Amino acid sequence: MKFRLVSAVLLGLAGVVFLCSLGTWQIGRMYEKRAQLDEMTAGISSPAEPVPQSFDRERDRYHPVTAEGRFTGERLYVLSGQAMIGAGVQVISVLQTTDGRRLLVDRGFLVDDDKHKALTVTDVKILGNLMWPRDSNAYTPPPDAKTGLWFARDADAMAAVLHTEPVIIVARAPTGDGIAPMPVDTASIPNDHWGYAITWFLLALVWTLMTAGLVWRITRQKS
């Protein structure tokens, strides 16, 4: 009987600690996400300037820039999709600027049926935001060797392949060829971690009540 009682208490404590730790982690993620969204908002709302000659990836992330030149025809496709539209690709093109620089431009979304069509627009003026995307993780596969399709944006890897500077300008406005821009904004980034935290804490409360009920039953049987 004593062993059952001790086991029930230890199991209850372990469950409560585990569930509360998950809730605490969600609160930490909520503040991290809030800081990221604040950083994005501050960066997006600043005045647009010509692309700087050198970059600071933390300071210049999301900074609005302008660039003028021509698309060279070199490009990469990144697997993508949009609600109510379906599968497609994000078009990453090389922009040769008027002063001779080579930059990557995320032109936006192209539906799957159109990804094999020729892109004819060349001379452009770009308004966009500097980005070093954090799309990939340890589970992201490398680009498909047969199709050349990428599964995440990676400024450094793409720059190495296309021989450009390691930065991506995400276009705010259409750049032609039927490509829909996917501008940098905060609207598509949810911050639901507070709700998740409440869920974990409520589960911890339920676990506590269940443990208390079990302990009560064990002590009643003993008495």
- For every one of its 223 residues, what pLDDT tens digit does the chain have, with 9 covering 90 and above? 677 777 777 888 888 899 999 999 999 888 887 877 777 776 677 788 899 998 888 888 888 999 999 999 999 999 998 777 788 999 999 999 999 999 999 999 999 888 888 899 889 999 999 999 878 777 888 998 888 899 999 999 999 999 999 999 999 999 999 999 988 876 666 678 888 889 999 999 999 888 888 778 878 775 5
- Structural domain tally of the chain? 2
In a domain, 6, yes or no: yes
In a domain, 178, yes or no: no
In a domain, 186, yes or no: no
Residue 55's contacts (CB-CB under 8 Å, 6 or more residues apart) are: 130, 167
In a domain, 217, yes or no: yes
* Residue 17 in tokens: 């600690």
In a domain, 176, yes or no: no
Answer whether 109's CB lies under 8 Å from 175's CB: no
> Which segments within 83-219 are labelled E, that is strand?
86-97, 102-111, 123-131, 168-171
Same domain, residue pair 66 and 131: yes
Query: pTM for the whole thing?
Result: 0.70
Same domain, residue pair 201 and 165: no
CATH number of the domain to which 141 belongs: 2.40.50
Question: What type of residue sits at position 52?
Answer: P
Same domain, residue pair 116 and 144: yes
Same domain, residue pair 120 and 52: yes
Same domain, residue pair 104 and 76: yes
Task: Tell the residue number behind the tokens 């392949």, with chain if given.
Answer: 161
Same domain, residue pair 134 and 57: yes
In a domain, 114, yes or no: yes
Q: Which domain holds residue 21?
A: 2-39+192-222
In a domain, 101, yes or no: yes
Same domain, residue pair 104 and 127: yes
Same domain, residue pair 95 and 120: yes
Instruction: DSSP letter for 172, please.
Output: S
Handedness of CA 90, 94, 98, 101 (dihedral sign): positive
Same domain, residue pair 62 and 23: no
Same domain, residue pair 117 and 93: yes
Same domain, residue pair 59 and 150: yes
pLDDT in tens, 105-123: 999 999 988 888 889 988 9
Same domain, residue pair 14 and 76: no
In a domain, 183, yes or no: no
